[in-house]
């Protein structure tokens, strides 16, 4: 069986760690050239060295950095946008600076990255965009006011791309992971453990116990979902939202009446 992405080139943002790094490795194994874009320094170089991806250092909040990443590819067939940050806050105590920074990266950064990539894909006759959001876009949970708002915007913006550019060969879909073992989630669990007087693994175990599958995802499992959406396996899929949360949105303890 031929590699799913043979001969194609993808820009992957947030490629230094977590889901972005897993996508970079998987897409390379499926035959794609990958421009691995991110701020990871030595981590990004390590991922590139291990996978054969082309590392480009920069921020999605800087348009010149985005232009440089896109220009580094001889052509471009798709984007997996996995860069993002997290903030913990409540609606009544949102700090303006935190709100602005989170939206600048998660939402405005998504807009700018997609805006920069779209003309190139359209000129090439089409392509596939996968924007990584989060189940926080749909699940109201304590401490996620700003983060959830930013990710809801990513879902909406992705659907706007799908409906606007489908007739020009663009497929745009959103991938919404639940709890996944990434540096971001590990940092959250260290904070939770410090408050609870437990350990990060104990806090992760609590969360896993609330999911239908009773475990946390590995980054490679989320990368596989991105591969499906990016490849011709999903040739008739656009404007869709793929939730990969281990059944977190179907709590078993609630009965319908």
Q: Where are the beta strands (DSSP E) in 39-135?
A: 54-57, 78-81, 127-132
CA 199 to chain centre: 27
Sheet holding 33-38, edge to edge: 54-57, 33-38, 9-13, 78-81, 127-132, 170-177, 241-244
Catalytic residue of the set 147, 157, 165, 179: 147
Active site residue 165: no
Estimate to the nearest angstrom the gap between the alpha carbon of 190 and the chain centroid. 22
Active-site positions read: 147
């Amino acid at each position: 069986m031929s590699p799913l992405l043979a001969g194609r080139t993808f820009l992957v943002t947030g490629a230094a760690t977590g889901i972005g790094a897993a996508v970079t490795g998987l897409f390379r194994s499926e035959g794609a050239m990958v421009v691995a874009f991110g701020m990871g320094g030595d981590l990004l170089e390590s991922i590139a060295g291990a996978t054969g991806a082309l590392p480009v250092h920069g921020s999605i909040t800087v348009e010149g950095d985005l232009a440089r990443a896109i220009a580094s590819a001889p052509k471009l067939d798709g984007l997996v946008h996995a860069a993002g940050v997290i903030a913990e806050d409540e609606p009544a105590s949102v700090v303006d600076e935190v709100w602005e920074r989170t939206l600048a990266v998660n939402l405005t950064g998504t807009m700018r990255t997609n805006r920069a990539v779209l003309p190139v894909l359209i000129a090439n006759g089409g392509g596939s965009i996968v924007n990584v959001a989060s189940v926080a876009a749909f699940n109201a949970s304590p401490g996620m006011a700003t983060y959830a708002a930013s990710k809801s915007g990513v879902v909406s913006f992705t659907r706007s791309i799908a409906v606007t550019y489908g007739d020009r060969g663009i497929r745009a879909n959103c991938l919404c992971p639940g709890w996944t073992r990434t540096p971001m989630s590990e940092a959250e669990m260290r904070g939770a453990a410090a408050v609870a007087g437990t350990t990060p693994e104990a806090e992760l175990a609590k969360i896993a116990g609330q999911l239908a599958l009773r475990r946390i995802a590995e980054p490679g499992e989320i990368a596989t979902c991105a591969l499906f959406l990016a490849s011709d396996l999903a040739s008739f899929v656009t404007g869709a939202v793929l939730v990969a949360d281990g059944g977190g949105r179907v709590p078993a303890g609630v009965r319908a009446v």
